[in-house]
Amino acid sequence: MTTKHYDYLLVGQGLAGSLLGYSLLKRGCSVKIVDNYEQPSSSRVAAGIYNPVTGRKLVKTWLADTIFPFLKTYYTELESELGKNFFHPMPMFRPFPNQEVKDYLLQETAMTNYGDFGQYHTPNDSLKSVVKSELGGVMTDHSGWVDLPLMLDTFKEYFEKKQCLLQHLFDYQGLHLESNTYQVNNEWTLSFNKLIFCEGFYGRNNPYFSWLPFNPVKGEVLRVKFKEDISLKEMINQGVFVIPLSDGRARVGATYSWHELDWVPTSKGKLDLLEKYHKLMLADIDIEEHLAGVRPATKDRRPLVGIHPKYTNLGIFNGLGSKGVSLAPYFAEQLVDFLVNKKELDPEVNINRFGSLYLGQKQS
Ligand SMILES: Cc1cc2nc3c(=O)[nH]c(=O)nc-3n(C[C@H](O)[C@H](O)[C@H](O)COP(=O)(O)OP(=O)(O)OC[C@H]3O[C@@H](n4cnc5c(N)ncnc54)[C@H](O)[C@@H]3O)c2cc1C
């Protein structure tokens, strides 16, 4: 039996595991990441949007002033380090759906609360020829999208080159916490200082962390091709989002469903997206691809980060919900600061906020 030791063993090479693994390597830690790439991953379905102003009332998202400047620097540096172009800063235009909403947003203090994130916008003729926007709207800055499949493929190559990757389905039966080891097979064992689970949706079946309040949400997205030649330089969002891609294509999404948590695209999801698309956009489209995935969301809409209350060699980085692209860089760095430099975790993400759930589960 051969044993190899690592400072950190990570399970999952989605967005969470990739950024955490990368940050740990940057701090000089030894890392092994286990993923078998055979089960679906939320990151490979996601549209990858980051956007600091959301919701019907267009409010600034949680920690926007901190995480949005951070992510811009982070992804820009990451691109130059990995040598691929997956970061696409792009303004987002949100047409007012009706006069009532327009009046509300113009009169209420909401508009002034945006700071430098967005402003009232009257579309020019080019935008008006593509988007139904008679009432004007809000143009958001500091938004854009990340091509997550490309970024994850690039990370995969990067980790492979550094011999940090193990293609393998992690099996909890192989875990021996008394010796800090994981038995891969009859010939090979990994030993570690800490094991951090970055399993996305599958985390809710993890026997060590299933007490955490996961609240997964299914979502569906389309990749479409415009039937006519149009020029669109902004993302559009009202009921659905439309992200212009290259070659006259666009990504359209997304649906939200708390039922039937599977990865199967449905005709209901497709019709819902098409109906909302045609309410918003003038250009006709052909559907090229239809995908479904499950967002690893939580009941309090905050990430799940930290160390197990009893097994202090086990940790978790999960619960990124529908905002993984904006949250993951900041909290991957924060988790590494916590692990390596013993800095505090933000109490709003630290899983010890759910300590009573763990105790309750043990008693029942
Ligand atoms: C339709 C849709 C649209 C979305 N749009 C956006 C968006 O526009 N912007 C945004 O920020 N977010 C969006 N999201 C959310 C985003 O996808 C997530 O926040 C993020 O990708 C979660 O990353 P993760 O690494 O936690 O999980 P995942 O990407 O699911 O990764 C988990 C990984 O763990 C691996 N794994 C799990 N268990 C095991 C095991 N036992 N052994 C080995 N490997 C294992 C899996 O193979 C997988 O690779 C969207 C999600 C969906 C479904």
Q: What is the four-CA torsion angle of 110, 116, 119, 123, rounded to 10 degrees?
A: -150
Which residue, 245, 263, 295, sits at the end of a domain?
295
**Residue 35: closest CA among 21, 23, 49:** 21
Does residue 344 belong to any structural domain of this protein?
yes
CB 214 within 8 A of CB 204: yes
Which residue, 295, 317, 335, sits at the end of a domain?
295
Does residue 119 belong to any structural domain of this protein?
no
Same structural domain, 204 and 326: yes
Does residue 124 belong to any structural domain of this protein?
no
Same structural domain, 188 and 232: no
Q: Which atom in ligand 1 lies closest to the alpha carbon of residue 169?
A: 42
Measured in angstroms, how far is the CA atom of residue 20 from the centroid of ligand 1?
14
Same structural domain, 209 and 226: no
Q: Which atom in ligand 1 lies closest to the alpha carbon of residue 327?
A: 11
Any atom of ligand 1 within 6 Å of the Cβ of 322: yes
Same structural domain, 190 and 307: yes
Does residue 58 belong to any structural domain of this protein?
no
Same structural domain, 204 and 304: yes
| CA nearest ligand 1 atom 33, residue | 12
| CA nearest ligand 1 atom 26, residue | 200
Strands 240-244 and 235-238: antiparallel
Same structural domain, 169 and 278: no
Which domain CATH number covers 243? 3.30.9.10
Does residue 209 belong to any structural domain of this protein?
yes
Domain count, the chain: 2
Same structural domain, 289 and 325: no
- C-alpha count within 13 angstroms, C-beta hemisphere, residue 264: 7
Kindly provide the b/e burial profile for residues 219-235, where b requires at least 16 CB atoms within 10 angstroms of the residue's own CB: bbbbbbebeeeeebebb
Measured in angstroms, how far is the CA atom of residue 200 from the centroid of ligand 1?
5
Which residue, 254, 269, 295, sits at the end of a domain?
295
Does residue 350 belong to any structural domain of this protein?
yes
Evaluate the CA torsion angle 132, 87, 249, 49 in order and state its sign. negative
Distance CA 98, CA 237 (A): 14
Any atom of ligand 1 within 6 Å of the Cβ of 35: yes
What residues pair up with 8 in beta bridges, in sequence order? Answer: 31, 194
Same structural domain, 222 and 353: no
* Dihedrals phi, psi of 304, to nearest 5 degrees: -115, 105
Same structural domain, 224 and 282: yes
Any atom of ligand 1 within 6 Å of the Cβ of 94: no
* Site to substitute for ligand 1 among 182, 295, 323, most atoms within 8 A of C-beta: 295
**Residue 243: closest CA among 150, 145, 99:** 145
For residue 132 the two structure tokens come to 């139904």
Does residue 66 belong to any structural domain of this protein?
no
Any atom of ligand 1 within 6 Å of the Cβ of 54: no
Same structural domain, 287 and 241: yes
Does residue 77 belong to any structural domain of this protein?
no
Which domain CATH number covers 209? 3.50.50.60
| CA nearest ligand 1 atom 21, residue | 43
* pTM, 2 dp: 0.96
- pLDDT tens series, the chain, 364 aa: 899 999 999 999 999 999 999 999 999 999 999 999 998 999 999 999 999 988 777 788 999 999 999 999 999 999 999 999 999 999 999 998 889 888 887 776 555 556 667 777 888 888 888 999 999 998 888 999 999 999 999 999 999 999 999 999 999 999 999 999 999 999 999 999 999 999 999 999 999 999 999 999 999 999 999 999 988 999 999 999 999 998 999 999 999 999 999 999 999 999 999 999 999 999 999 999 999 999 999 999 999 999 999 999 999 999 999 999 999 999 999 999 999 999 999 999 999 999 999 988 766 6
Measured in angstroms, how far is the CA atom of residue 40 from the centroid of ligand 1?
8
Distance CA 226, CA 181 (A): 53
Same structural domain, 306 and 187: yes
Same structural domain, 221 and 287: yes
241: containing domain: 217-295
